[in-house]
Structure 1
Amino acid sequence: MHSIRQGAASELWQALVREGSERSGQALDEMQESYLVFMLLRHQGDAHLLARTQALDFLTAQQAGFTLRADALRDVGDRYLLIAGLYPEYARRRVGVEYFIDLGRGAYRDVADASRAGYAELFALLSRTYHGPVRTLQAVRALPDAASRLPS
């Protein structure tokens, strides 16, 4: 994969992810960093993130047809990552951050099982290292003036 340099929002997310990675002590490889930035871009306009019934989304994704299953599980894993990393107070009110981490890792592991080689490799890695991106996002959230620096 090559570096992410495609416009203002991606550059802002990339800078925030790198700073969060440094502050959290989580060394993300290029594949993890790229995925995290693109995941943030894909979900930055999700106004319903915290309104979803996450467990129901996970079950629905598990039951999706083969062609839709990997994408649906990826979205579930992404949303769990966002909640555990950027909105841990929401997780604590409901069931706790570890619940979201465990199910998110499981969703990514299932994506790896349901995908072709390159995609499977990425999601197997993300499943194994799920805590790293969570800690990185938690550090992004804790950055001084982070809210004013986040792309809309």
Structure 2
Amino acid sequence: MFEAFKNGTPVEVWQALVQDAYEQTGRRLDESSESYLVFVLLRYQADGLLLARTQGMDWLLAMDLAGTARADALRDVGDRCLLVAGLFPGLAERRRVSVDYFIDIGRSAYQGVADVTRQTYAALYAQLARSYGELVRTLSAIRGSQAHRAISLAQ
């Protein structure tokens, strides 16, 4: 895995981290959920505004939209809530809400995407909504293993 960090593309690095999370948790995601999780990590890796957004408000605004605009906005809310819940749970504490707040909004957002999209995407987002907790656990394992590594390397 360390070879992926040194020489790998961003996709290879995120995939290696997800694989490492499997070793930490002993649990695997199905292939489509794993691929989607890597896609989300790639998509948001340079988003400087990720933690500044108010997901509850973004979810409410998305619910006022229709069609593709609604699906896209809900997908974005679900993705961002996933990253916050899994990688930045301290944000919930600072905002005086629980991590479950982000999980509930994110799961609901993905289910909303499943409800308004075509059949192929509907199945994927319904699956993501059902396995949202597992996705968060995978990201939490990534966060935990990287924090442990950083401490070990610093010593």
Asked if these proteins are the same fold (TM beyond 0.5), I'd say: yes
Q: Deviations over 1:57-102 (max 9, x none)?
A: 1111111231211111000000000000000111122201011001
User: Which stretch has the larger CA shift, 28-37 or 49-58?
Assistant: 49-58
Separation in structure 1 between the aligned mates of residue 19 and residue 113 of structure 2, nearest angstrom: 25
Q: AA paired with 2:134?
A: G
Counterpart-to-counterpart distance in 1, 2:150 and 2:65: 37
Gaps spanning 5+ residues in structure 2: where?
A: 1-7
Rounded to whole Å, the distance in 2 between the matches of 1:26 and 1:107 is: 24
Q: Which residue of 1 aligns with 2:100?
A: 98
For the residue of structure 2 that corresponds to 1:27, the secondary structure is coil
1:82 is matched with 83
Q: Could you say which residue in structure 1 is the equivalent of 2:25? A: 24
Match of 1:145 in 2: 149
Superposition RMSD on alpha carbons, in Å?
1.5
Residue of structure 2 in register with 1:8 after alignment: 9
User: What does 1:104-143 correspond to in 2, within 5 Å?
Assistant: 104-143=106-145
User: When the two structures are aligned, how many residues end up with a matched partner?
Assistant: 141
Paired residue for 1:39? 40
Q: Distance in 1 between matches of 2:113 and 2:60?
A: 14
Q: 1:145 is aligned with what amino acid? A: R
Write the distance in 1 (CA, Å) between the matches of 2:116 and 2:31: 23
The alignment-based identity, stated in percent, is 57
- Counterpart residue type for residue 56 of structure 1: M
Counterpart Cα distance in 2 of 1:33 and 1:92: 27
Is 2:37–2:135's contact at 8 Å kept on the other side of the alignment? yes
- If asked which structure has higher relative contact order (CA below 8 Å, sep 6+), I would say 1
> Which structure is higher in helix share?
2
- Normalising by structure 1, what TM-score? 0.88
Report the TM-score, using the length of structure 2 for normalisation.
Answer: 0.86
Secondary structure at 2:117's aligned position in 1? coil
Q: CA deviation at 1:146?
A: 6.3
Residue in structure 2 matched with residue 3 of structure 1 by the alignment = none
User: Is the Cα contact below 8 Å between 1:70 and 1:111 reproduced in 2?
Assistant: yes
Residue identity in the other structure for 1:8: T
Contact preservation (8 Å) 2:115, 2:122: yes
Secondary structure of the 1:140 match is helix
Find the aligned partners of 2:26 and 2:137 in 1 and give their Cα distance.
9
Moved more, 41-50 or 18-27: 18-27
